[in-house]
């Protein structure tokens, strides 16, 4: 069984074709999916998804930076309280992080995201949960905040597309780097240049918003850049994900 290190099977766009999508993934050898949490309503969909599929769904509850940016301060505060109460049900806290892309909103939205990120780091530390990080154009800010919290966090940077310098900062802080479908697309030059030098036991594979059977395509693209074969990369990634899910944060 291969495990997708970060996916969104609970997203409503899969609802009408979920059985077909899951069957296609299982036929490709993918039968485990770490979820990316977005909001309290999405956490509920994750729980229903796990019940429906009868296993293979690893829960991640968090407040996605996009959701935080679009919510009110009161809604974020209420969601953080709910997250504190419900986090024991999940394997990870995430997605959380920062997003400085142009679509990210105004100064108030940026500040709300920073506040929510710091609050979620405190909750993860309190509950000894690994993190699933969403970081867009914010590597320096995120690693600075993580370093200030000390060495008590671990987890993964999902959809990593940064350069070798950013990769090393995350690795030093104890985070694994999860690579998604971008590695198989044109562009993503910084990632493709950094990828061959990344430690193979700290490299995870994911599909993010794409169909989960494409995890094999991601592995094939990684193998083309790093050497080896796709199956070996999938095996290593799956072992590392299992370790992350089973071992409490230090």
Over residues 174-205, the pLDDT tens digits come to 999 999 999 999 999 999 999 999 999 999 99
Say which residue, 103 or 133, is predicted with more confidence. 133
pLDDT > 90? residue 115: yes
pLDDT above 90: percentage of residues in the chain: 92
pLDDT > 60? residue 155: yes
pLDDT > 90? residue 105: no
**Beta-carbon contacts of residue 195 (< 8 Å; ≥ 6 apart):** 179, 183, 203, 222, 225, 226
Q: How confident is the model at residue 247 (pLDDT cuts 50, 70, 90)?
A: low
User: What does the block give as tokens for 124?
Assistant: 């993860």
CB 86 within 8 A of CB 42: no
Over residues 21-61, the pLDDT tens digits come to 999 999 999 999 999 999 999 999 999 999 999 889 999 99
**All domains of the chain in start order, with CATH:** 2-246 (3.20.20.140)
User: What does the block give as tokens for 193?
Assistant: 């240049």
Distance, CA of 167 to CA of 94 (rounded, Å): 19
Residue range 138-167: mean pLDDT, rounded: 94
pLDDT > 50? residue 250: no
Say which residue, 30 or 102, is predicted with more confidence. 30
Q: 188 — alpha (psi -120 to 50), left (phi > 0) or beta?
A: left
CB 178 within 8 A of CB 95: no
Of residues 58, 66, 1, the one with CA closest to residue 39: 66
Of residues 175, 99, 190, 96, the one with CA closest to residue 137: 99
Find the angle CA(30)-CA(32)-CA(35) to the nearest 5 degrees: 120
Q: What's the pLDDT at 248?
A: 61
Distance, CA of 94 to CA of 148 (rounded, Å): 19
Distance, CA of 55 to CA of 148 (rounded, Å): 37
Candidate from 102-106, 149-153, 185-189 with smallest mean pLDDT: 102-106
Q: What's the pLDDT at 243?
A: 96
Distance, CA of 38 to CA of 74 (rounded, Å): 17
List the alpha helices (DSSP H) in the chain. Answer: 18-27, 40-53, 65-70, 73-86, 107-127, 139-149, 164-172, 189-194, 215-226, 230-246
Chain centroid, CA 159 distance in Å: 7
pLDDT > 70? residue 104: no
Distance, CA of 174 to CA of 171 (rounded, Å): 5
Q: Cβ-count burial of 17 within 10 angstroms (0-12 exposed, 13-18 middle, 19+ buried)? A: exposed
């Amino acid at each position: 069984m291969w495990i997708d290190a970060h996916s969104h099977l609970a997203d409503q766009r899969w609802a009408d074709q979920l059985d077909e999508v899951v069957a296609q993934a299982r036929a490709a050898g993918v039968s485990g999916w770490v979820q990316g949490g977005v909001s309290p309503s999405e956490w509920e969909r994750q729980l229903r998804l796990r019940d429906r599929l009868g296993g293979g769904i690893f829960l991640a509850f968090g407040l996605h930076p996009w959701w935080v940016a679009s919510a009110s301060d009161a809604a974020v505060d209420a969601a953080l309280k709910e997250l504190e109460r419900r986090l024991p049900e999940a394997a990870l806290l995430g997605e959380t992080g920062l997003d400085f892309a142009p679509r990210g909103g105004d100064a108030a939205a940026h500040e709300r995201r920073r506040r929510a990120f710091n609050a979620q780091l405190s909750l993860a530390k309190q509950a000894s949960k690994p993190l699933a990080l969403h970081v867009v154009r914010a590597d320096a800010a995120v690693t600075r905040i993580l370093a200030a919290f000390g060495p008590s966090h671990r987890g993964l940077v999902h959809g990593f597309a940064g350069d070798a310098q950013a990769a090393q900062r995350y690795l030093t802080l104890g985070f694994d780097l999860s690579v998604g479908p971008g590695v198989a697309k044109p562009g993503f030059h910084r990632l493709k240049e950094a990828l061959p030098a990344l430690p193979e036991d700290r490299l995870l594979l994911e599909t993010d918003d794409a169909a989960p059977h494409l995890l094999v395509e991601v592995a094939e693209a990684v193998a083309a850049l790093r050497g080896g074969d796709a199956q070996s990369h999938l095996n290593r990634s799956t072992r590392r994900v299992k370790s992350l899910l089973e071992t409490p944060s230090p």
